[in-house]
């Protein structure tokens, strides 16, 4: 872990037990930067969902996936970059779920990425050098 004045870098093991460490580190970083309320909650929710998906689905169990997360606090936003060396996957191309369909008609899964799209202010994806790179921005001055 590397902490600078307005930056947090985490290497996350490909294990769901790492989520608690992620939550604690991100919470402390946001508190130090004065990010609270809805913005902090949305950041935690999005990162929990995205990192859970990488750990659970990015690579077969016999091939560990390297995960790196960088958070940077700016004057009015938190920028996050989530990188992994798992199989290519662009979450922004995942189909939108039909949230109006009856529960029994809905497929399992897909809601987490839907929520991330709705609560974050900016998302972009690229595949570069064998890595999935997801950029996420959450404005912090909207409360």
Can you give the pLDDT at residue 62? 81
Report which of 97, 86, 83, 74 is spatially closest to residue 125, judged by C-alpha positions: 83
- Across the chain, which distance is largest between two alpha carbons, in Å? 48
Domains present along the chain, CATH in parentheses: 2-139 (3.30.565.10)
Query: CB of 69 within 8 A of CB of 50?
Result: no
Can you give the pLDDT at residue 9? 97
Element (H, E) at 57: helix 37-57
Q: Full-prediction pTM beyond 0.85?
A: yes
Measured between alpha carbons, how far is 12 from 25 in angstroms, rounded to an integer?
A: 11
Can you give the pLDDT of all 143 residues of the chain as single tens digits? 444 458 999 999 989 999 999 999 999 999 999 999 999 999 999 999 999 999 998 888 788 888 999 999 998 999 999 999 999 999 888 767 655 666 565 555 556 788 899 999 999 999 999 999 999 999 998 65
């Amino acid at each position: 872990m590397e902490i600078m004045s307005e930056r947090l870098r985490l290497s996350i093991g490909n294990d769901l037990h790492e989520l608690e460490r992620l939550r604690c580190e991100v919470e402390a970083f946001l508190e130090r930067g004065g990010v609270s309320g809805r913005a902090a909650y949305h950041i935690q929710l999005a990162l929990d969902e995205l990192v859970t998906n990488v750990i659970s689905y990015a690579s077969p169990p016999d091939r560990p996936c390297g995960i790196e997360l960088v958070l940077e606090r700016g004057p009015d936003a938190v920028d996050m970059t989530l990188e992994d060396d798992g199989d290519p996957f662009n979450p922004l191309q995942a189909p939108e779920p039909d949230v109006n369909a009856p529960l029994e008609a809905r497929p399992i899964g897909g809601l987490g990425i839907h929520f991330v799209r709705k609560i974050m202010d900016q998302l972009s994806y690229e595949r570069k050098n064998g890595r999935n790179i997801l950029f996420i921005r959450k404005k912090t001055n909207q409360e």
